[in-house]
Amino acid sequence: MSGHRVLALDADGVLLDYNLAYATAWRRAFGRYPDLRNPHAYWAADRWDVERLSGEALHRFRAGFDAQFWSALPAVPGALAACQQLEAAGFELVCLTALQPHFAQARLGNLQALGFPIGRVIATGSDASDGSPKAAALAQLKPLALVDDYLPNFAGLPEGIHGALVLREPDGSPNCGPALQQLHSTHASLAAFAHSWLAQRQEN
């Protein structure tokens, strides 16, 4: 596939609100919706007033992250409109996610049910032992840009791909340090990226 009009978009934290869905998963496992602890926390387990799990309770909770869960995450506010604007401007949107490959169809169904103009999901798994789990897929896809909310996913970003980091909730965020200098842009959200990306192309 030629990447001359392709944009690679991360899912959790960029397109879909995993942190919000986490609370629903907790209720599904334990029968109660957790209270909000810190709305500025990057990680879901720090955002909600939940205890650290182990043993049988941890197994029960993890079992809930099944195809049903990955089919039903809510959209990040503004993400759908941003994708519609990018698609209307002629860009092909591909979801590039570190989700396990056997959940790719559930993720695609989730996005399409919400109305996202996305027809392809590439699920790479989350093994980061050799660097970013997304590096090989990016080298093959050759998109114009990668939009992601997790700085380590930009490690080894192939030359010629615009690295755009979404700087969402700051508390405990991994999005800091010298690696930030290797990026091309940072944004508060996918909507902010789309506004900047499209404005630059109008200027050019």
CB-count burial class (<10 Å; 0-12, 13-18, 19+) for 54? exposed
Dump pLDDT digits (tens) for 136-149: 999 999 999 999 99
Considering the chain, what is the average pLDDT of its residues?
95
As a whole number, mean pLDDT of residues 115-123 equals: 98
Q: So what's the pLDDT on residue 70? A: 98
pTM reported for the whole predicted model: 0.94
Dump pLDDT digits (tens) for 45-97: 999 999 999 999 999 999 999 999 999 999 999 999 999 999 999 999 999 99
Dump pLDDT digits (tens) for 188-204: 999 999 999 999 887 76
In sequence order, the 6+-apart residues with CB closer than 8 A to the CB of 21 are: 69, 72, 73, 74
Provide the percentage of residues in the chain whose pLDDT is more than 90.
Answer: 92
